[in-house]
Amino acid sequence: MPDRAAHCTELLLIRHAPVDDGTRLHGRRDVAAVLSPPAAIAAAQRLIGQVDRVVSSPALRCRQTAEALFPDQPTTIDPRLWEQDFGAWEGMRLGELPDIGPLNRAELACHAPPDGESFAALCARCTPALIELASTGGRVALIAHAGTIRAALALAIGSVAAGLAFEIVPLSLTAIRCFGGEDWAIGHVNRLPNH
């Protein structure tokens, strides 16, 4: 029997640091991160540990978070890891979003805002990148968005709709291992460092 650990990639999915106005839907808006105090960054670094590679969404908030957490490592930028495009809803206050009626999770996953993309489309965009990263081996830090991390969870579970069940808070760590490029195991979701 082959050694599963020898063919394992651990994806360490880190949501970017908070943004200045967390009451708005930012999606593809390129807003800056509000970086935590040095003690909080150090606590996050201890939680994450050593990594072999750092990959980030092109969003400014993700790049800033990657630079703060991994100042001595190069960061690869992958545009497939952008947050969901919320189209006409971008920049709206969360309380002002239109009522789209009662939708179950599967319907919600397929619903796209005007001129935007659905969560299912986000998953389709992110999945090739996630599969590529999962086949490289080692520990890969991926700094991205709540939607991107939910897409990774959906891939691991095998259900796009189930990915919407997870809350992903800023600077949290979600760990997913992949064995042989196809067998997924979720280690933990939304873990925060102890300060």
DSSP for 141-192, please give it: EEEE-HHHHHHHHHHHHT-TGGGGG----TT-EEEEEEETTTEEEEEEEEE-
Beta bridge partners of 173: 14, 191
Query: Among 5-9, 127-131, 178-182, 189-193, whose mean pLDDT is lowest?
Result: 5-9
Specify the pLDDT at position 28.
Answer: 87
Report, as an integer, the average pLDDT of 165-178.
97
Cα separation, 56 vs 13, in Å, equals 10
Dihedral of alpha carbons 182, 183, 187, 188, sign = positive
**Mean pLDDT of the residues in the chain:** 93
- Is the confidence at residue 194, as pLDDT, over 90? no
* Cβ-Cβ contacts under 8 Å for 99 (sequence gap 6 or more): none
pLDDT (tens digit per residue) in 142-161: 999 999 999 999 999 999 99
Cα separation, 161 vs 16, in Å, equals 23
This prediction has a pTM of 0.93
Q: Phi-psi category of 78—alpha, beta or left, where left has phi over 0 and alpha has psi -120 to 50?
A: beta
Q: Are 86 and 145 in contact (CB under 8 A)?
A: no
User: What are the φ and ψ backbone dihedral angles of 4, each rounded to 5 degrees?
Assistant: -60, -40
pLDDT (tens digit per residue) in 66-84: 999 999 999 999 999 999 9
Which of 3.40.50.300, 3.90.550.10, 3.40.50.150, 3.40.50.1240 would CATH assign to domain 4-90+103-191? Answer: 3.40.50.1240
